[in-house]
A and B are shown apart, each in its own frame.
Chain A
Amino acid sequence: MASRDGNVIFGRTSAVGEVNKKITGNAGVSFPDGISNFVKKDHPLSKIGILDESKYIVWHDDFNKYVSGHWEKTVVEAGSGDHSVGVINGSGGLLEIATDNANNDRVLLQYKGNASQAVGSFIMDPKKKTYMAMRFKCDNWQTCALHVGLMRRKTDFNGLLSQGGTIQGLGIDPLFTGSEPAMFAFMGTGTGLPLNCVFGTTSSGFLPTAGDITNDEFIEMIFVYDPNRNVGRSIPSPKNIDTFLGNVSAANPAGQLNTTQTYLHKPVYFRDSARGWTGCSASVGSSDLPFTPGTDTVNPATWPDGVNLMPTMMIRNSTAAISKLTVDYLTIVQER
């Protein structure tokens, strides 16, 4: 039965199904016989109504709970020795990571499951879609370096720019101070900054300054990597970014050098309470497929080729006071 008088139900009708028609408020689509997403219709499991769990690698933590044995924690604390990590009261499940109260104290968490040390669950495949989403806040954006996303295993760290690792996700070192403010990196290595988006530069479409994001204000970020940019493909824009509407053209197809073409290759989106999703234009305009044109070869200087990465959260303070990073959720999804 298919009903649009409330929940939409495909499949058999039951007594409960009839009742469901009355729920008109949040009309969803119900498939009592199940739903699947197997690529081949003749796949043996495509008929039994379950999703292909292997289609995407999904790592998601809502932080309704924190299991200390699942994270490798590296701590530097020179103050009173009372850093803390744990879930606090709050909507959505909030993980609070607090440093000690001496200058340059740090807390680094890297996911390890039940292994003895953090293990690389993700390797960036330039031919596969990758998504990363996070919602978080910091109690003092201007005095903290922090990272939320993917990074290689690192137990000795002094910061982001000097840690010599590979950063995938958000990195701040720190935000809105000086000439090197926030960075939203899809690839950060060594002391260089081959970033996709750097707030505070003239090439950025969104230029937050101190005060745009207040202390203890939650912000969200989404990173989208989509290598499928065939010529002629329509690329609609996200809200507030009408200038990036367009099609991929034959003159500047996917895989060619960066142009002003509207490729949604590695865009980064930002949202806070004052605006909807805002594309960080520098991340679109200065990005391109990582392949050398005409080849399948990626440049290891701009792409973490074969590097084992793991979910990571880190905060380092730069004053003699406790600093807190609070993460609502972290999601990492990669197409197999």
Chain B
Amino acid sequence: MSTNYEKGFNNLPNLKNHPAGDYMGGDWPSKFNIIFDDFTSFDTASNGWRVGTNAGSTVALVPTSQFDSRTANGVLRMTQSASTASTNGSCVLAWSGGNATNTETIEFTGNEPFFWQIRYKFGATCTDASFGFNMSEDAVMDGTKYEGIEFLVPGFQCQFNPKIGTGSDPSGSWFKSNAAVIGAFGHWDGKDDATVVDQFNVLTFYYDPKREFMVYQINDRRYESKSSGGFQDGMDFQIDSAPSSQPTGKTLLPTIGFSAGTGQFIDIDYVMVGCQRPEELF
């Protein structure tokens, strides 16, 4: 049974610190700055994404008949070129806010919560398919192709590939923050949820500013990502207090990239990125 507040509630400080604090009976919309796209519709004029396609690659809603049974509505499919593998046939979505160029709107202050979540599914035919989800400055993926993780650029970058690696083969999945790869997460043997094909996965990131926790989660499992030891089952959090590994003070934008073998695809159910505004800004 849910909890019911008949007179409403809000998420504001009290009236001493906010004019609407003791009056508003619902959430105050400007407390968080959030981009959320459920992909119930998709057109570049209104969704806010800039689309990059190459050699006939496509980005389009999945026809209704192809919906996964666990998906309510709205799935965006990024399909690699049928003739050109890898970067030259890749797809990119980058936030543009209605402009023709990338636009950065979400700030990582280091002092406020910062988060994202994306639900995705590799197509059943995916073998060597790099899927990247990044929160970074315009310099990352500023073009129309997905060229993989980019070094020496502030931001958070994740990349997954169902290609089965072994031992020291880093083709499984990677995480990078700011100036260098600081660790891999996910099974190095390729059996991690993050890279299982034909299965929807939810990737969640949460940054807690008070204790500088960064939490990465795939489905219901959390991962440590700082060490070089790869997957560490049961390690719930990463404490990353080194300022150099965080893009503190940077205003970031989401980008989604897919670079694979010909004709392979990935489905995106939804994506959410956001941050809390500092109290003096809402």
Contacts and interface: CB of A to CB of B under 8 A. Distances in A.
Interface of A: 10, 15-16, 19, 22-26, 31, 33-41, 46-51, 55-56, 58, 60, 62-70, 86-94, 129, 131, 133, 135, 220, 222, 224, 226, 236-239, 267, 269, 271, 273, 276-277, 279, 328-329, 331, 333, 335
Given A22-B237, A25-B211, A91-B251, A66 B5 contact: no
Contact of A56 (B25, B105, B213, B251): B25
Contact of A222 (B14, B19, B105, B213): B19
Interface of B is mostly: loop
Contacts of A86: 97-99
B232 interface: no
A64 B4 CA distance: 32
Contacts of A47: 1-2
Interface string B1-22: 1111111110000111111101
Contacts of A24: 210-211
Contact of B105 (A46, A49, A60, A64): A64
Contacts of A51: 26
A66 B98 contact: yes
B235 to A, nearest CB: 11
Contact of B208 (A16, A23, A40): A23
Contacts of B17: 239, 276-277
A93 B33 contact: yes
Contacts, number: 188
Interface residues of B, number: 59
Given A238-B15, A279-B19, 14 more contacts: A19-B236, A25-B213, A33-B2, A49-B2, A60-B29, A64-B35, A64-B106, A89-B103, A92-B107, A135-B281, A224-B20, A276-B280, A329-B30, A331-B29
B223 to A, nearest CB: 12
A92 B281 contact: yes
Contacts of A26: 113, 208-210
A267 B5 contact: no
A69 B96 CA distance: 16
Interface in B153-188: none
A10 B3 contact: yes
A69 B213 CA distance: 41
Contacts of B7: 37
Nearest to B34: A62
A25 B16 contact: no
Nearest to A66: B98
A93 B97 contact: yes
